[in-house]
Amino acid sequence: MKRFASVYNPARMIPAINEYGYKFTVVNTVFAYVAAMVMTFAMTYFLKVKPVGMIVCVTVAIIFLPAVITYSYRTMYEQRRFSDTCLYVEQLLYAYRNRGNIVDALEETERVLPERSAMKECVREAIEHILYDYSDESVTKNGLEIIEKSYDSSKIRTAHAFIMRMEQVGGDMSAGVAILQKDRAVWQKQIVLFQKKCMTSKRNTVIAMIITLCMCAFTPAIMQKSVQNIRIQENIVYQVSSVVLVILFLTIYVFLLKKMSFGMLEKKSTLSEEEAFRLHKRVTEGKDDIGKKLAVSKLKRNIIKDFPIWFIDVSIRLQTNNVRVAIINSYDEAPNSIKPALAELRDDLAFAPEEAWPYRKFMKDYEISEIGAAMGMLYSISSGGGFEEKVQLEEILNRNVEIGSAAEEIYYEDLLGGMYGIFLVPALAGAGKMLIDMTLVLFAFLNFA
């Protein structure tokens, strides 16, 4: 509630925009308020709304304006952070492959980043921490965490974990770098596609609102030309319905901007660990009823989204551990949706470390073929199925890219769901408004007759 109120607080608008790295002056604020009032006045005038209704609509527009401006700048801010993150991960991996040293890779990456960007400053701070903080025993790890705290992205954490492992164990990293770059490219492509879909949805919804306003304004006028001496615009029901329509469209516009201002760097899971264990227990032990099907559906979508994050963590741990140890050590960092099945796998591996059935049993109740194939690959590596170390990493990361691509699609489909649904609201609202108007014309005609 506090965050909701702050978005609509005019006093918080300019400081918030400044925090995003943009300048918004008092002159800009005055111009924005004037523009909002003029546009809202035009909408209400078009619908023949009386002065009292106009004041109500303009007041609502003034209340909404700080949110409109803040969400617009937040969208630009998130897009810039996303662009900086993609550039950083891409350059860091290539630089480390060429240099073979984390500090040298960071310095080369910093030179490529845009001047005066937040990412460039963050990378410089990390470099200085690694080079000059002699009191820190884990100086490289903590230096990289400076970047991770500012840019909360699994892609950055994965890249950092990978180069840290390579720094420790050495070896040929070309295959790993290539696959991580592919993973980044898939992620970048999905977000760019999502942004385009958001813009298309926003444009279509705005067009739908304009068309609806035109129809709602012209329909009564056309009908009244056929029926003289009838003025439904004077009716209180018409006035109220027109005001409600305008306020509804203003609300829809704010909703669209809010949806488009989402954080692009990280997918935040809303599933708690306790809920994940409860749902998993219902899936594995419950009766085959509607409750079990709902539990499977909810947990399955979260698993598909989260599995690539866990799988890439295991693949990196494989550089210094065998499969069983890598799986066991990954539990604490695993996403909540993965932990119930992972706890079972951990116990099964302790009981039968050399057997294949623990791998086949893992998440079999959710019938996700990609996970079955990935676990089969892990078992082949565990049993020494002829994989060389380089091939192991390449194959396992390739599998992760495939699963991750499907997970990204599901995640952004969920985000787009609300925007696709809101597209229908203007048409439905317009139909309701015209139904009210035609009813008023009919009653006015019967009374006049």
Lookup: tokens for 245: 């329509």
**Distance (Å, whole) CA 427 – CA 425:** 5
Task: Determine the average pLDDT of the residues in 318-347.
Answer: 86
For residue 195, count CB atoms less than 10 angstroms from its CB and return exposed for 0-12, middle for 13-18, buried for 19 or more: middle
pLDDT digits (tens, 9 = 90+) for 155-183: 898 888 888 878 876 666 776 787 778 77
Q: Where are the beta strands (DSSP E) in 305-407?
A: none
pLDDT digits (tens, 9 = 90+) for 178-212: 777 877 887 888 888 888 888 888 898 899 999 99
Which band of pLDDT confidence, cut at 50, 70 and 90, is reported for residue 85? Answer: very high
- Each residue of 248-261: b (16+ CB within 10 Å) or e? ebbebbbbbbbbbb
Which band of pLDDT confidence, cut at 50, 70 and 90, is reported for residue 408? Answer: low
Which band of pLDDT confidence, cut at 50, 70 and 90, is reported for residue 227? Answer: low
Per-residue CA distances from 110 to 92, 130, 132, 337 (Å): 9, 14, 17, 36
Q: Which residue has the tokens 């439905």?
A: 428
pLDDT at residue number 403: 66
Domains of the chain: which residue ranges? 273-420
Task: Determine the average pLDDT of the residues in 23-40.
Answer: 90
Segments in 100-235 forming alpha helices (H): 102-112, 118-132, 139-150, 154-169, 174-226
Per-residue CA distances from 424 to 41, 122, 291, 410 (Å): 25, 43, 31, 22
pLDDT at residue number 402: 67
**Distance (Å, whole) CA 72 – CA 221:** 36
**Which residues are within 8 A (CB) of 25 and not within 5 positions of it... i.e. 6 or more apart?**
14
Task: Determine the average pLDDT of the residues in 205-230.
Answer: 78
The answer on pLDDT for 23 being more than 80 is yes
The answer on pLDDT for 416 being more than 90 is no
CA 446 to chain centroid:
54
pLDDT at residue number 370: 77
H or E stretch at 394: helix 389-422
**Distance (Å, whole) CA 156 – CA 305:** 17
Lookup: tokens for 177: 């770098």
pLDDT at residue number 1: 42
Alpha carbons within 13 angstroms on the beta-carbon side of residue 33 total: 11
pLDDT digits (tens, 9 = 90+) for 264-323: 776 555 688 889 899 888 888 767 778 888 888 888 888 887 887 788 778 777 766 788
User: Which residue type is seen at 400?
Assistant: N
**Distance (Å, whole) CA 30 – CA 129:** 44
The overall average pLDDT reported for the chain is: 83
Lookup: tokens for 129: 């921490």
The 10 Å Cβ neighbour count of residue 327 is: 26
Instruction: Please check whether residue 65 is in contact with residue 33, taking contact to mean a CB–CB distance below 8 angstroms.
Output: yes
- pTM here? 0.77
Indicate the SS3 state at residue 318.
coil
HEC per residue, 29-75: HHHHHHHHHHHHHHHHHHCCCCHHHHHHHHHHHHHHHHHHHHHHHHH
114 DSSP assignment: P
**Distance (Å, whole) CA 230 – CA 220:** 10
CA 105 to chain centroid:
29
**Which residues are within 8 A (CB) of 356 and not within 5 positions of it... i.e. 6 or more apart?**
379, 383
pLDDT at residue number 296: 85
Q: Which residue has the tokens 């019938």?
A: 367
**Distance (Å, whole) CA 259 – CA 423:** 13
Per-residue CA distances from 5 to 9, 64, 67, 114 (Å): 6, 11, 9, 34
Instruction: Please check whether residue 83 is in contact with residue 264, taking contact to mean a CB–CB distance below 8 angstroms.
Output: no
